[in-house]
Amino acid sequence: MEKEKYILISIISSDEQEIIASLDELARLIDTAGGMECGRIMQRLPHPDPKYYLGSGKIEELRLEIEMKDADGVVCDDELSPVQMYTLTKELGVKVIDRTIVILDIFAAHASTKEGKIQVELAQLKYRASHVSGLGKMLSRQGGGIGTRGPGETKLESDRRMIRHRMGQLSRQIREMESVRQTGRKKRIRNLATVIAIVGYTNAGKSTLLNALTGAGVLAEDKLFATLDPTTRALDLPEGMQVLLTDTVGFIHKLPHQLIEAFHSTLEEAQYADIILHVIDASDTDWELHRKVVYDTLSELGITGKPVITAFNKTDLATEEILRDTAASKQVTISAKNKYGLDELITAISDTIKDMQTLIKMLIPYQETAFVGRVRQMGQVIKEEYLEEGIRLEAYVPPSIAKEYGTWHRNFS
């Protein structure tokens, strides 16, 4: 099948270099979705035109470009309003889509689990719902007459009803799956392992790193959004301590809010983590911009105040001399693919856990020896004395045990 050809369009309202980088990324997204770029049109404008997105003069140029390149469609780097989409389609006579539609399309193609598929469908419906209602308003504002008669408005009304009904169904299913996951999470908390979430820009090498560290065998590809579903694997640290590593969906510049909402429970995995492992593709010339997108998305998800270890990855390809992430508590340079720098990364993880440990001093009744076992397994025992009233224990323990100790202490003291 021949690839669909698209003209990329964007207004330049800020730094031109950033817009060009964003369009380069849009071209990669189109490529991942199975199409190709055949040209681009940019226009310096402070705000998008409410009706045409580009200025009306530029539309003529766009029309010529479509004809010349024999393009199948136009893709806008910003999310188009229903009105813009409607007028552009009418004016140009080709398919008009936007960045959000492309990303949703990729997610739909890559979703493999039941939960992933439901989350994507919900995100797509949210997008459609907002655009259907916009279209309805636009038609009713015209106050009847040619173009508004016939099945139009009733069709929109029934579409809206169907979409709402299906969205309700999907949200319920997501909530049910979320409660199953919560149970899993509680079990893990009971196991008291330190949880590390691998986060980063899409294609940074997160899955490759999880595979290199744990032999997880998850899919890693030179593709945007290869991973949609979280995978958790255990990693044994040299001191005998075990941590859990979770690989999850990548972030991107202008990640559609519908996806953030629908994938909230998946993205939440990072909220329950003790440590954030931030993977940066150091061979990407835009890594600094991507770094910012990752931190912005994390704070949008309410994930702040956790220790961050930054792993500058793909250093086998990187040419830049200075790699620094000032927001990280520790940083290392690695190549996940060539398994370079992994020992330093593991040391950074161990050190971070040690930094997070607290000293507990307690007298444990003999009927609570299971707790002593957990302290021995997860922490470092400094002093252990067997007295008549119980076991006197002094130990450095990770946050999870300290938390348990806190509640336990209240119960028993």
Ligand X SMILES: Nc1nc2c(ncn2[C@@H]2O[C@H](COP(=O)(O)OP(=O)(O)OP(=O)(O)O)[C@@H](O)[C@H]2O)c(=O)[nH]1
Is residue 227 part of the contact set for Mg ion (CB under 5 A)? yes
Please provide the DSSP assignment of 339-374 as one string: TBSHHHHHHHHHHHHHHH-EEEEEEE-GGGHHHHHH
Least gap, CB of 210 to Mg ion (angstroms)? 8
Q: What are phi and psi of 87, to 5 degrees?
A: -70, -40
d(C-alpha 399, C-alpha 272), whole Å: 12
Least gap, CB of 311 to ligand X (angstroms)? 10
Contacts of 74 (CB under 8 A, 6+ apart): 6, 7, 9, 62, 66, 88, 92, 94, 95, 96, 97
Q: How many residues line the site for Mg ion (CB under 5 A)?
A: 4
Q: Which residue is nearest to ligand X (CB)?
A: 250
Is residue 226 part of the contact set for Mg ion (CB under 5 A)? yes
Residue type, 325: D
Least gap, CB of 206 to ligand X (angstroms)? 4
Minimum CB distance to ligand X smaller for 120 or for 204: 204
Q: Which does 203 bind (CB under 5 to 8 A by kind): Mg ion, ligand X, none?
A: ligand X
Least gap, CB of 108 to ligand X (angstroms)? 15
Task: Pick the stretch among 203-211, 263-271, 326-334, 377-385 that binds Mg ion (CB under 5 A).
Answer: 203-211
User: Is there a contact between 26 and 3 (Cβ–Cβ < 8 Å)?
Assistant: no
Give the residue from 126, 48, 41 showing the smallest Cα distance to 83.
48
Least gap, CB of 204 to ligand X (angstroms)? 4
Minimum CB distance to ligand X smaller for 64 or for 317: 317
Interacting residue ranges for ligand X, rule: CB under 6 A: 200, 202-208, 220-227, 250, 313-314, 316-317, 335-338
Say which DSSP state 72 is in: S
Is residue 104 part of the contact set for Mg ion (CB under 5 A)? no
Q: Which residue is nearest to Mg ion (CB)?
A: 227
> In degrees to the nearest 10, what's the CA dihedral of 341, 346, 351, 352?
100
Least gap, CB of 174 to ligand X (angstroms)? 21
CA angle 321, 326, 329 (to 5 degrees): 115
Could you list the residues that contact Mg ion (CB under 5 A)?
206-207, 226-227
